[in-house]
Amino acid sequence: MAAPVIKLEGVTRVYASGENRVHALRGIDLEITAGEMVAIMGASGSGKSTLMHILGCLDKPTGGRYLFRGQDVTGLTPDQLAYIRNRQIGFVFQSFNLIGNLAAWENVALPLIYAGVPRREMQVRALAALQQVGLEGREHHQPNQLSGGQQQRVAIARALVNDPAIILADEPTGALDTRTSIEVMAIIQKLHQEKGLTVIIVTHEPDIAAYCRRLVRLRDGQIIADEVITQPRQAKEGPATPPAGEGKA
């Protein structure tokens, strides 16, 4: 059996709020192997956002251990965690997080700048990533010239550009309409299937979780279910360009 790319052992996270202590995570044990596509679901306050921050090395557990690709990252310095985030984790957010005055390819290339990649190589890799998400011909468009679905494709390309170990998507369709959400999920599914990417999607939407092969449910900071989805929903990828006369998604 393959070693897990992610392994949490008794992970807790406690936040201090004045004299009160908020227990966001209460002893999480979780393993995710390379090549899985996993949905993490839970209502507001269930702990899924806290778990996402820990998985993405954006926060540290209060207790327990987090092993990422076999390395215990619990005690790493902020610089060491930033190094892992930049080179081994691709993030996709609900709000896209694109820089408005940069072209699509420049937004995609941002992780490469922090990695010290030469500019010519940055452009080549960014253009290749945009091609993977179906945005040929829009490399030089700024975010305000793109639909919501196209902006999320740029964000997915940015997540891919450093060839990460995992893609961590936080409510990736939360700002999109239903049709565009399906198109975005089709791209994520395709990348998972063709490239063998490990994908973790944090969502509160059952319709989005249904595209994954595994579903982890949280409630009150604990895992209450860990299920295999035997027949994941298959999304159909649509055009990157909205039909004539249609506004932005």
146-164 pLDDT, tens digit per residue, is: 999 999 999 999 999 999 9
- Give the mean pLDDT of 167-171: 95
Domain housing 164: 34-61+82-228
Q: Please report, for residues 37, 97, 211, the alpha-carbon distance to residue 193 in angstroms, rounded to integers and kept in the order given.
A: 9, 26, 12
DSSP secondary structure string for all residues of 11-61: EEEEEEETTEEEEEEEEEEEEEETT-EEEEE--TTSSHHHHHHHHTTSS--
Neighbouring-strand partners of residue 25: 13
Q: Give the model's pLDDT for residue 240.
A: 62
Q: Give the model's pLDDT for residue 17.
A: 80
Question: Which one, of 196, 243, 233, lies nearest residue 2 by Cα?
Answer: 196
Contacts of 161 (CB under 8 A, 6+ apart): 90, 108, 109, 111, 112, 125, 126, 129
For residue 59, what are its two tokens?
Answer: 């926060």
Q: What confidence category does residue 114 fall into, taking pLDDT thresholds of 50, 70 and 90?
A: confident
Which CATH number do you get for residue 135?
3.40.50.300
What's the total number of domains in the chain?
Answer: 1
Report if residue 240 sits inside a domain: no
Q: What is the pTM of this model?
A: 0.91
Report if residue 196 sits inside a domain: yes
Report if residue 111 sits inside a domain: yes
Q: What is the pLDDT of residues 36-89, one digit of tens each?
A: 999 999 998 999 999 999 999 999 999 999 999 999 999 999 999 999 999 999
Residue entry with tokens 């996270």: 13
Q: What is the pLDDT of residues 205-241, one digit of tens each?
A: 999 999 999 999 999 999 999 999 999 999 876 666 5
